Amino acid sequence: MTPATDPTAHFVDKWHRREPEMALAEVFCPPERRPVFRAWGALLHELREATFELSDARVTAAKSQWWAEELLLVARGAGRHPVCADLPPSLPWATLARAVMEQASFDGRPADTAQALQQVAPLAEAIAAIEAGLHEAPPPVGAVAVNLLLHRLPHGLVAEDQARLPLGLLARHGLTVAQVAEGQGEALLRDWARELLAALPAPARPSSLYRRLRSGFDRARLQRLAAGRGFDPPPAPASLWRAWRLARSG
């Protein structure tokens, strides 16, 4: 199927614009597994956007509700969205649907890194449960939770949840989230990256190619942020080299 006729292409492209290193890494996925690899990455991007990234709380509620209903339809083999066409129904989609709704309505602010991870843990656990069935290797829940928090940056700094930055971290640096969003929080963001790096589990064995790649790339992004090199992923040649090593490590 060519990109022009592939109904998932638009959503895969959205995902790849946000995570360009995963587009480079796709070449290491066996062709027969690639539809699921692409569908899962695109679906996670859509769920993350619906749950965390919409500026209007009413739109967040409506879109999260739509996706929760869609996940329940996937469980019946009746999904409507293009990215759901290649996903098997016999997985705990209802649990993921509940977690999406709960996370979308959550309005607490974490006191510290442990609490920030705990707040996203139900969604991370639900994602991990689906991923275990899709890829036949359960990912560490901690790796999924770190991924969710990392990808709140930098866009989430001006969002209602303020990127889930811990209040204790803001107090330690004597800054408000508004000041961080304006570019005054480089030292704070370096510390936040170090704390997320410390929370990122070591690579699991065995592990799926998808999560091995995503966690390896997350580690690289966090290392760059901790070193004061910004939010962007490493250059494409470095990402391709890293993808090759991560693919071989499984």
What are the pLDDT digits (tens) for 192-211?
999 999 999 988 778 899 99
pLDDT, average across residues 72-83 = 96
- In the structure encoding, which two tokens stand for residue 248, read together? 């071989």
**51 lies in some domain:** yes
**8 lies in some domain:** no
pTM of the model: 0.94
Alpha helix (H) residue ranges in 27-176: 34-52, 57-75, 93-104, 113-135, 141-150, 167-173
**5 lies in some domain:** no
Specify the pLDDT at position 122: 97
Alpha-carbon distance of 91 to 103, in angstroms, equals 20
Specify the pLDDT at position 221: 97
Residue 56 pLDDT greater than 90, yes or no: no
Residue 3 pLDDT greater than 60, yes or no: no
User: Peptide bond before 206: cis, by omega within 30 degrees of 0?
Assistant: yes
Specify the pLDDT at position 204: 77
Give the tens place of pLDDT for each residue, 14-37. 999 999 999 999 999 999 999 999
CATH for 137 = 1.10.600.10
**14 lies in some domain:** no
**38 lies in some domain:** yes
Give the tens place of pLDDT for each residue, 115-140. 999 999 999 999 999 999 998 888 99
**43 lies in some domain:** yes
Number of separate domains in the chain = 1
**15 lies in some domain:** no
**211 lies in some domain:** yes
Higher per-residue pLDDT: 204 or 91: 91
Residue 250 pLDDT greater than 80, yes or no: no
Mean pLDDT of the chain: 93
Q: Which domain holds residue 33?
A: 21-241
Q: What percent of the chain has pLDDT over 90?
A: 78
Give the tens place of pLDDT for each residue, 140-183. 999 999 999 999 999 888 888 889 999 999 999 999 988 998 88
Q: Which of 114, 113, 116, 112 is nearest to 168 (CA)?
A: 112
Q: 230-237: long-range contacts (C-beta < 8 A, 24 or more apart)?
A: 231/153, 231/154, 233/19, 233/20, 233/21, 234/21, 236/20, 236/21, 236/24
